[in-house]
Amino acid sequence: MANFKNPHTKYPVPPFPKQQQEVPGTESKMKPQADHGEESYQGFGRLKGAKAIITGGDSGIGRAVAIAYAREGADVLISYGYDVEDKDASDTAKIVKEAGVQVILSKGDIQDERYCNEIIKTALNEFGQIDILVNNAAYQMANTSLEDITQANWDRTFSTNIRSMFFLSKAAVPHMKPGSSIINTASVNSYHPNAVLLDYAASKGAIQNFTANLAQMLLEQDKGIRVNAVAPGPVWTPLIPSTMPEPEKFGANSPIKRPAQPVEIAPAYVFLASDESSYIAGATIAVTGGKIAI
């Protein structure tokens, strides 16, 4: 029997406890704890035998996608960036291993093209192939005025969010066979930019365009590689208490009146990677809690 729940109250609703973390934040310090599907996500073999790369796979949306992919049967390489994230990465790897698949942890700076190439080489050496590339890692920092955005912050945002996506896709595509997928994390900010996230929102708009353009390029070349994006709305991840003002109120202005939990975003990535979406390319799935994305 179906067990449908009211989306407004299915997960914690703001206000949350007052909290603040240093960038990039960690899962253990979040109040409430985020749900990545550790207990709830059930796989059905949709990705059995696939080999996937997930950037930013240690926490947040990336962790939820890693868990979902593993339980759908995929081996997973998880890339992450900071020493402070070592525990989050190892915790994610443990859950992935429990699904009976192979997991690789790779730490480095995806702003560096050499490291991006290393990710692809590692996946090829360990897995023998690459079927799914999830460009998910991102950086943001809230600023209330244009004058507060430094060149260094602007450059870091674009370098992390979109430049790395170019590096990784360029390195991966020559090794991806027909039927493979590239899935990019865009944002509701691609459609409704948050006034305090000017550089982040601009980078997410670029990701939206990059996704559509790369999809057309690969389709015209008959490579059989589909490129799509997921545009999440507000999601309760470590980036929120480490980069946003008043995280205790985060997501309250969503039509569903709460932020998403990462587990609610992961199924879109599973669908886009699976053969069930074989006629979808150049598209963006909006998982925005009711915020219209047109």
| Residues in a beta bridge with 105 | 78
Cβ–Cβ under 8 Å, residues 227 and 282:
yes
* 11 in catalytic set: no
Which member of 69, 200, 269, 279 is catalytic?
200
How many whole angstroms separate alpha carbon 70 and alpha carbon 260? 21
Give how far Cα 223 sits from Cα of 21, 37, 175, 216, 272, Å. 44, 33, 11, 11, 17
Task: Supply angle C-alpha 251, 255, 261, rounded to 5.
Answer: 45
Nearest to 280 by CA among 219, 217, 190, 207: 219
How many whole angstroms separate alpha carbon 221 and alpha carbon 76? 28
The set of catalytic residues is 200
